[in-house]
Amino acid sequence: MKINNETRMTKECRTPNDKMSPHSLSAASVLVIRHLSLVRHSLIRASAFLLLIFLPALQAADNISVLGSKPQWSVLEHYQETITRDDFDRLIQSVYCTHGFAPDLIQINEKTARLIKNRCAQEFFTLRFAANNAEHQPVPRLWRPTKSLPAARSGKPLSGLRVALDPGHLGGKWARMEERWFQFGNSQPVQEGDLALRVARLLGRRLRQLGANVSFIRNNNEPITAKRPDDFHELARKILIKNGVPQPRADVLDPNDPEKEQTIRWQSEILFYRYSEIRRRAALVNFKLHPDLVLCLHLNAEGWGDPNSPTLTEANHLHLLVNGSYLAEELEFDDERFEMIRRLLSRAYDEELPLADTIAAAMARETGLPPYEYPTTNSTTKVGSSGYLYARNLLATRIYRCPVVYCEPYVMNSEDAFARIQAGDYEGTRNVNGTERKSIFREYADSVVDGLVDYYSKARCSRDR
């Protein structure tokens, strides 16, 4: 069955399928059903509607997303009087809450914003605005905005910049479980996690040559999390029961099993490789690496159907993502709402927008790819001026506490990208599909490097100027 790209991306990355934590089974259950409904079950879509209607009555005291933790609202005290009302309102309206939200969640008054910490308990956090831009308090953060970086060393436009590379997914023996694997005939299997790691290694080498301090969030095909799918059986069972599958099956029949998402195995696996893994990566970023920037490296795909007999397509495209564009139902989660506000107050977007737009322009120039257009505007908001950049609430872009640029070039199962992936990595150019091309891995890495150099050469002062 052909899965459209929106569905595939939804499955891959975004948070509506942030299913639930043991703390909160109710609101999250709406979302998992919503996710299932996107895939193919019209019957379940109807149940999602019912659950949504009854949501307020079902809400538990703490309303936390999958494997999330209770927000520490007191942290926001450090952001008092750091932002003007106008800036706060602009970021809410045009970046973070572009799909609206329940009006009681965030009330923007003249001098303060009233934020609901917990709706049931009617607990609020009051954020005081800065009177004007000249008098605001300094924004606390562990990453450095470009303007605070020391002057660049001569010929090293990225000197001193701390960049963490996050090759998406796991690859290796996990690729099939992640559903990031397909094989066409007897060709080499295509595994997104492995391709992203290859790009990351090439990119890391070049960034170091340009003076950057590079760390890898993942540098092999093993998970960061110590958990494994077996650790999530009980939670998976609870999720399914709460979502109207009273007696969930233990196992998936085969990769094309239409009801695989209603099995304990499928749910436990996704809790492992997506939720647990990305949350562990976030802990590494937030508590150990403290980078100025994270680059999430992915390759896109169109629905390929049966992974053992995949559909190749002519469509090939590029887009980049930064955090934003939260759905109204995502903002109902106490932790997601808190993380959104903390991110907004950290002013990561001020850095992400021009940087991601510049990288997007360089990648577009060098790959020649057209911009990806989402089939709906239900989950994304186009931002910037390159035409390639979207705001979207992905787990990684939300919880890595620094600017995050998320790259999605190439459709792996396009005829062009597939041939280039099969050609492997090489120096210089080769004739692939009738055109002299760099290896797809080097083209990816080089175009990101060029975008970074374009941005930082202009945005930071250089000692030799």
Write out the residues near Zn ion by the rule CB under 5 A: 168, 298
- 3-state SS, residue 29: helix
Please report how close the Cβ of residue 135 comes to Zn ion at its closest, in angstroms: 43
Buried b (16+ CB within 10 A) or exposed e, 222-246: ebbbebebeebeebbbbbbebbbbe
Please report how close the Cβ of residue 408 comes to Zn ion at its closest, in angstroms: 7
Please report how close the Cβ of residue 192 comes to Zn ion at its closest, in angstroms: 5
What single string gives the DSSP state of each residue in 418-463?
A: HHHHHH---SS-EEETTEEE--HHHHHHHHHHHHHHHHHHHHS-BT
- Type of residue at 378: N
Which single residue brings its beta carbon nearest to Zn ion? 298
For Zn ion, give the closer residue by CB, 4 or 132. 4
- CB atoms under 10 Å from CB of 145, counted, come to 17
For Zn ion, give the closer residue by CB, 12 or 329. 12
For Zn ion, give the closer residue by CB, 144 or 298. 298
For Zn ion, give the closer residue by CB, 9 or 212. 9
Please report how close the Cβ of residue 287 comes to Zn ion at its closest, in angstroms: 24
For Zn ion, give the closer residue by CB, 408 or 443. 408
Distance CA 440, CA 426 (A): 9
Angle between helices 5-12 and 26-39 (to 10 degrees): 150
For Zn ion, give the closer residue by CB, 28 or 395. 395
The two three-digit tokens of residue 386, written as one number: 């390159």
Please report how close the Cβ of residue 168 comes to Zn ion at its closest, in angstroms: 4
Sequence-separated (6 or more) residues with CB below 8 Å from residue 290: 142, 143, 162, 402
Residue 193: which of 201, 359, 454 has the closest Cα? 201
Please report how close the Cβ of residue 80 comes to Zn ion at its closest, in angstroms: 38
Distance CA 16, CA 33 (A): 9
For Zn ion, give the closer residue by CB, 76 or 278. 278
Q: How many residues does the chain have?
A: 465
Please report how close the Cβ of residue 433 comes to Zn ion at its closest, in angstroms: 24
Distance CA 33, CA 39 (A): 10
The residue behind tokens 């790959």 is: 367
Please report how close the Cβ of residue 298 comes to Zn ion at its closest, in angstroms: 3
Give me the sheet containing 123-128, strands edge to edge: 106-108, 112-118, 123-128
- Type of residue at 332: E
